[in-house]
């Protein structure tokens, strides 16, 4: 992850990445060709598309959208996460918010 962010510290850098260079960086994760294409396209859409939520960007689904809503917006109460770690954190937020 840190190698990626050191090489591509901004969406602009990631959107103009050399696909072959990005593929070699992602190789240990598997599916490097697909992931490289997805990261480049998603970065371009992040910069160019008039998006309201991450789920509107190529390659991002429910998990990314739920995480964004929980950690980056004030809409966390309306999220119904399915991922176990997000469920745990969301439940913790609900319990601690209701105690105040």
User: Would you name the residues annotated as active-site residues?
Assistant: 83
Q: HSE (CB half, 13 Å, CA atoms) of 77?
A: 6
Distance CA 78, CA 24 (A): 39
Contact 40, 27 (CB under 8 A): no
Structure letter (DSSP) for residue 60: -
Element (H, E) at 11: helix 11-15
């Amino acid at each position: 992850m840190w190698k990626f962010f050191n090489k591509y510290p901004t969406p602009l850098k990631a959107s103009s990445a050399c696909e072959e260079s990005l593929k070699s960086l992602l190789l240990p994760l598997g599916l490097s060709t697909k992931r490289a294409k997805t990261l480049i396209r998603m970065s371009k859409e992040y910069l160019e598309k008039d998006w309201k939520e991450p789920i509107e960007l190529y390659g991002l689904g429910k998990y990314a959208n739920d995480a964004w809503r929980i950690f980056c917006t004030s809409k966390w109460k309306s999220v119904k996460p399915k991922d176990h770690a997000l469920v745990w954190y969301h439940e913790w937020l609900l319990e601690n918010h209701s105690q105040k």
